[in-house]
Amino acid sequence: MSQVDQCVELGFKGVAKDNGWCVPALYDDESLFPVCERVAEHGLPNSPGAEEYIRAANYYLGHRLLFASSSPIRPLGLSVEQFAALPFEDEDLRQRCLGGNVQRLLGI
């Protein structure tokens, strides 16, 4: 965890990782969950660019943005919790991104 804290002190704005490049792949490695939780404790996104996507969703991308998680790399509940805290203009937009847009896309 000290590396996460050090990154925050150095001014990092988020953490991105693709555990599929590790050998063996670490998609389901629960030892990484505390790292994601520590990043969240600092209020940082675990994937850079979230703020830009939300700004775009609030402006023009709201009917195209879909929620996605990196499960099983990190706990699904944590992803949903962080998504719920993002600054969407209104709850209708948040719900479209959580499932309404994909339902419309797939015709279900």
Please give the pLDDT value at position 4.
86
pLDDT tens digits for range 7-17: 889 988 766 66
Compute how many other C-beta atoms are within 10 angstroms of the C-beta atom of residue 15: 20
Cα dihedral 84, 85, 91, 97 sign: negative
5 neighbors 39 (Cβ within 8 angstroms): no
Number of domains within the chain:
1
DSSP state for residue 21 in the 8-state scheme: G
Please give the pLDDT value at position 27.
56
Q: How far is CA 7 from the centre of its chain?
A: 18
Please give the pLDDT value at position 106.
93
pLDDT tens digits for range 14-73: 666 665 556 666 655 677 778 878 888 888 766 545 677 788 888 888 898 888 887 777
* 99-103 average pLDDT score: 93
Q: What is the pTM of this model?
A: 0.54
Please give the pLDDT value at position 78.
83
- Look up the domain containing 46 and give its range: 2-106
Report the alpha-carbon distance of residue 103 to residue 106 in Å, rounded.
5
